[in-house]
């Protein structure tokens, strides 16, 4: 039921998003934040620490009621990953009993890449990916441990997280994803839903994308 219920939520609020197609996830309005910045050297604890501090702040801005159950959507790609990170570390950031209740199955996931068939037509590639879905209060998630693991990955530090993880609040219609030490996204279906964070954390917005982002909030 968890997978079906999450897709029903997407169909209602984010109709272009599909559980089995990671690159479709997103809202009509998004903000891209810079977490570490060019002023901090790659491979340093200072860079990781700033990324984690900002990411935690933005996560807490997004999910203000820690007792609300939020959706967790994880993609685990098969085989060795380039960072030599253990998948188990991310699993351990959730209560063991809760995690056992998560949806946890391998699926063929459509990628953003295409191949050509015998007729010369482009067809999307598919990868076998483990999809994990749960719903849990954010207070029960070791979110700092997760965000630090994401920030650590490209820096070569441990523990590291190579999985892709997304968070959705069905009550507020806000979502959050940290993609690496460089940045994260917050999105929603309406600008007013995330306007407070846009105003409060405006200095952290990625300058390259600022014109597009500012347009949402005029």
pLDDT along the chain (218 residues), means of 10: 98 97 95 89 91 98 96 88 80 97 95 76 86 97 98 92 96 97 97 98 96 96
Q: What is the pLDDT of residue 82?
A: 61
Rg (CA), the chain: 17
3 state SS of 185: strand
Give the up-direction half-sphere exposure of residue 53: CA atoms within 13 A in the CB hemisphere: 9
Q: What is the pLDDT of residue 185?
A: 98
Q: What is the pLDDT of residue 119?
A: 81
Q: What is the pLDDT of residue 103?
A: 98
Q: Which one, of 212, 183, 217, lies nearest residue 200 by Cα?
A: 217
Q: What is the pLDDT of residue 1?
A: 93
Q: Could you tell me the two tokens for 165?
A: 């993880």
Q: What is the pLDDT of residue 154?
A: 86
Phi then psi for 134, rounded to 5 degrees? Answer: -145, 170
Q: What is the pLDDT of residue 37?
A: 79
Q: What is the pLDDT of residue 79?
A: 67
Cα 166 to Cα 46, 66, 177: the distances in Å are 25, 16, 5
Q: What is the pLDDT of residue 94?
A: 98
The answer to whether the pTM exceeds 0.75 is yes
Q: What is the pLDDT of residue 81?
A: 62
Q: What is the pLDDT of residue 156?
A: 87
Rounded distance between C-alpha atoms, residue 85 and residue 81, angstroms = 7
Helix (H) or strand (E) holding 151: helix 143-153
Phi then psi for 138, rounded to 5 degrees? Answer: -65, -25
């Amino acid at each position: 039921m968890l997978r079906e219920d999450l897709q029903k939520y997407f169909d209602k609020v984010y109709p272009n998003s599909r559980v089995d197609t990671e690159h479709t996830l997103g809202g009509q309005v998004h903000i891209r934040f810079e977490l570490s910045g060019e002023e901090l050297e790659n491979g340093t604890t200072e860079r990781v620490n700033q990324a984690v501090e900002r990411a935690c702040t933005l996560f807490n801005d997004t999910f203000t009621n820690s007792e609300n159950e939020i959706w967790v959507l994880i993609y685990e790609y098969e085989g060795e990953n380039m960072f030599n990170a253990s998948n188990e570390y991310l699993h351990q950031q959730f209560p063991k009993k809760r995690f056992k209740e998560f949806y946890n199955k391998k699926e063929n996931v459509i990628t953003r890449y295409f191949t050509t068939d015998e007729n010369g037509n482009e067809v999307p590639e598919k990868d076998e990916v483990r999809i994990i879905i749960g719903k849990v209060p954010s207070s029960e998630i070791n979110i700092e441990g997760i965000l630090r693991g994401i920030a650590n990955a490209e820096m070569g530090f441990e523990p590291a997280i190579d999985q892709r993880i997304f968070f959705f609040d069905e009550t507020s219609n806000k979502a959050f994803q940290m993609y690496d030490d460089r940045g994260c996204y917050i999105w929603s279906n309406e600008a007013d839903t995330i306007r407070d964070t846009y105003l409060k954390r405006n200095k952290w917005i990625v300058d390259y994308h600022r014109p597009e982002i500012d347009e949402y909030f005029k």
